[in-house]
Structure formats: C-alpha cells, structure tokens
Amino acid sequence: MNKLMPILLFLCASVSVLTTIGIVVTLISETYQFFQKIPIFDFLFGTKWSPLIPPKSFGVLPLLSGTLMITFIACLVAIPLGLASAIYLSEYAPKRVRKVIKPILEVLAGVPTIVYGYFALSLVTPLIQSIFHSAGVFNALSAGIVVGIMIIPMVCSLSEDAMSSVPRSLRDGAYALGATRFEVALKIVVPAAFSGIVASAVLAFSRAIGETMIVTVAAGSTPNMTANPLESIQTMTAYIVQVSLGDTPHGTVEYGSIFAVGMTLFVITFLLNILAQYIARRFREEY
C-alpha cells in the first residue's frame, strides 16, 4: 500500500497534465493544417474576418477586438461592483447578512449562461436602446454588461477570500488608533490583500474572454473592428459556436478556422491565468 499509493496518486495528478497536452495536441494538429492554407501572418495581423462570405479573408483581429471589447465592458461592471461587494461583505456586513448574501451571489454564478443571454436580449438591450437611440439590437454593450453581471460573484468571492485572510490583528491595530471602518478597509485590508484582489480581477478577465452563450445570443455575429460598443460584433467563442452548429462542410479551410481561433483563445486565457498566478505569488504579503 505504501509503495503503490504514491504511484496511483501520481497518475491522478498527471490527468491534469494530460488534459493540457490533449488540448494542445488537438488544437495544434488542426491549426497546423489551417496554416498550411492561410499564412499565419495574415491570420494574426489581418483586419478583416470574413471566412464564409466572399471575398474570404481570415484576419483574426476583428474577433479579437470584439472579444476584448466585451471583456473590457464586463470588467468595468464586474470589478468595481464585485470589489465593493467584497469589501462590504468582509468589513461591514453583519455575520447574518453575509450568510444570506454569499449563497445568493453563488447562485448568480450558477445560472446557465444561455439564460443570461436571453436576459441581455430581452431586458438589457431595450433599456440601452431607450438611452442610446443609435444602439443596434445586437450590441457589445448589452452583452458586455450582462457578462459583467455574471462574473461579479467570482470577483466578489475571490477578493473576499483574500480580504478575510488578512489577520484580525492588523485591523484591530488600526481600530485602536481610531480609524473608521472605511479607513481600515481601504488603507489596511485592501493593500494587504492586494495580490489576491488583482489575481481575482485577472481571472475574471479570462473568464469573460471565454464566455460563450451570452455573446452568441446578444452580441450578434458581425466580425467588426470597431471601438463603438453600440454596434454588433462577434467574439472568438461565438464564432466557434457558429461554425460548429452551422452548415460548413468539415475538412474545409472555413471549418479549420475554428481550431485556429480556439488555439488563439486557449493561448490568451492560459497566459492570463499564468499571469494571475504570478501576481498572486509575487506580490503576496506574508504575515
């Protein structure tokens, strides 16, 4: 038992490594074939994405800019709100309130994203259109806001974890000096938990990049390099869904493009997650 178990357990641990290898191999082998036909330079730096409508062109930048716009809007919503909720829950809220609100926020995280998509289209979009008359029915703003609402719980819960692991004694010291709760929260707790908070923000960012169903429903499918959030755009994830449910024959360049896009998506989120790990470790305050 003593000799066997470490080996078995190691095998368990290696599943995760195998998963990564599996993802990379899957994506690379198909992406490689795609790049045989489309030069990698055109893919990475092309500014027009029109894989299905002639004249065909495979520049990923419009998808990337669409993805980043959604992500940016989502973070603009989720990070301030999530952080404020986290501060409230960890520093202000009575224990009873926290016990109620935390599970509620966790449910918010568990609502299927397809539901959020229709929430965006039927409730948020009309609201936006009544404020900005130029807004299209499919627009990045609506989808972005709703993706933001979806990731609030994640930011909140991760930052709250970071804040509640700040030792009690630090707070007590500040209170003893006559600090108000606000001062304790903003000048003691937040700086002490800063690395955890930043890490939660980066993770939220990467979650927003990978969000699929909301943007498929509410952001339209117009690959569009624009800075105007009231226009319809397409994200990388939405493109993958479009082609995998669509009528494109397999084995064509068009079909291969979903692997190239998937690869791009994977590389970006993977790097962001490593960044989050690095920040969390590098800037951790030890007590």
- Interface residues for another protein in 134-193 (CB under 8 A)? 136-138, 149, 152-153, 156, 180-183
226 three-class SS:
coil
Q: Is the dihedral of CA 169, 171, 174, 178 positive or negative?
A: negative
Q: Shortest CA distance to 210 belongs to which of 270, 163, 167?
A: 270
Residues 41-100 close enough to bind another protein by CB under 8 A: 50, 52-55, 80-82, 84-85, 87-89, 92-93
Applying CB under 8 A, which of residues 94, 96, 112, 177 lies at the interface with another protein?
112
177, 159 contact by CB (below 8 A): no
Residue with Cβ nearer another protein (118 or 194): 118
Residue with Cβ nearer another protein (38 or 146): 146
Region of 37-45, 163-171, 187-195, 211-219 interacting with another protein (CB under 8 A): 211-219
Half-sphere exposure of 177 (CA within 13 A, CB side): 10
Q: How far apart are CA 60 and CA 40, in angstroms?
A: 10
Residue 33 binds to another protein (criterion: CB under 8 A): no
Q: Is the dihedral of CA 277, 281, 285, 287 positive or negative?
A: positive
Residues 213-242 close enough to bind another protein by CB under 8 A: 213, 216-218, 220-222, 224, 226, 231-232, 234, 237, 240-242
Residues 243-282 close enough to bind another protein by CB under 8 A: 243-252, 255, 258-259, 262, 265-266, 269-270, 272-274, 276-277
